[in-house]
Amino acid sequence: MIVETTADGVIRSAPAKLNLFLEVLGRRADGYHELETLMVRIDLADTLHLRPAPTGAIAFSCDDPTVPTGEANLVVRAAERLRQARGCLLGVNIHLCKKIPMQAGLGGGSSDAASALVGLDRLWELQTPSDQLAALAGGLGSDVPFFLHSPVAVCRGRGERVEAVRLGPSSSLRALWFVLVCPPFGLSTAAVFGRVQAPSRPRSVGPVLEALLRGDIDALGRELFNRLEGAAGEIQPALRAVRSALEAQQPALAGTLMSGSGSACLGLAHDEEAARRAADRLTGVLGPGLVRVVRADLESSPA
């Protein structure tokens, strides 16, 4: 994540994520599902502008009027919880520039919250220990802790137990290229999880992770998997047309998948040029404004 400290405050990017593998291991007593998922950070990002507020209030605005303000907003909740946990009385004016589609399975709201925690920790000079930041992040949402960590991770538990994946110096892969389709409809994470059945013999993240570590794009494409796809397709049948359009691009694309609880779907390309060609063809099929090319940088940069 990029943090910039200006005379005026802190500017921070909040990148989206893609799930390249997601298995549901079981339903827990608290209603959440036990997961094993492989996530990568991508270069599609929101931006948070944080300026000190002399009033001591937490004020939030957004360039997208459909984003909720007040308590329902995860960024506001992040600010309040950090302030409370650290006994801080300072205020902030937060402005969010929204680029990540909502209800798309791209982790936009979670990333905004993680970015707010880290950005406010700097703005308010709190120097919060990293384990306390991680605990605050996990309390805000299952995906939030991932965004405090490295660009590639396997996440377990309800998603909050993050194990960073580091590609060795011998790996030839520096980035992954994707064509990303964001349909004009969103999906509720709770509704999708509400319909999913945990399998009796869950798949393991092992093969997809090994393909990534080997830098084998074809194998990675074959191993892409998301247990939530069936449930998402039942709720929103139009998703099937999106998936079919992506699948029709194979073998130019190594594999296709829905990300997280949807509705965004990805195609893994061999390189940037292949991703751009597939994006042009998909725009011809699906219409303008839904298709973009995104990159996942696999090398660590500070969160």
Q: 144-183: which residues touch ligand C5P (CB under 6 A)?
A: 158-159
Minimum CB separation from ligand C5P for residue 27, in Å?
8
Among 13, 142, 226, 263, binds ligand C5P (CB under 6 A): 142
17 a catalytic residue: yes
249 makes contact with ligand C5P (CB under 6 A): no
Minimum CB separation from ligand C5P for residue 74, in Å?
9
Considering 17, 46, 112, 121, which one is annotated as catalytic? 17
Minimum CB separation from ligand C5P for residue 35, in Å?
5
221 makes contact with ligand C5P (CB under 6 A): no
Considering 46, 112, 121, 143, which one is annotated as catalytic? 143
35 makes contact with ligand C5P (CB under 6 A): yes
Among 21, 124, 147, 193, binds ligand C5P (CB under 6 A): 193
SS (H, E, C) the chain: CCEEEECCEEEEEEEEEEEEEEEEEEECCCCCEEEEEEEEEEEEEEEEEEEEECCCCEEEEECCCCCCCHHHCHHHHHHHHHHHHHCCCCEEEEEEECCCCCCCCCCHHHHHHHHHHHHHHHHCCCCCCHHHHHHHHHHHCCCHHHHHCCCEEEEEECCCEEEECCCCCCCCCCEEEEEEECCCCCCCHHHHHHHCCCCCCCCCCHHHHHHHHHCCHHHHHHHCEECCHHHHHHHCCCHHHHHHHHHCCCCCEEEEEECCCCCCEEEEECCHHHHHHHHHHHHHHHCCCCEEEEEEECCCCCC
143 a catalytic residue: yes
Among 13, 103, 189, 259, binds ligand C5P (CB under 6 A): 189
- Residues lying near ligand C5P in the complex (CB under 6 A) are found at 32-33, 35, 141-143, 158-159, 189-190, 193
What positions carry a catalytic annotation?
17, 143
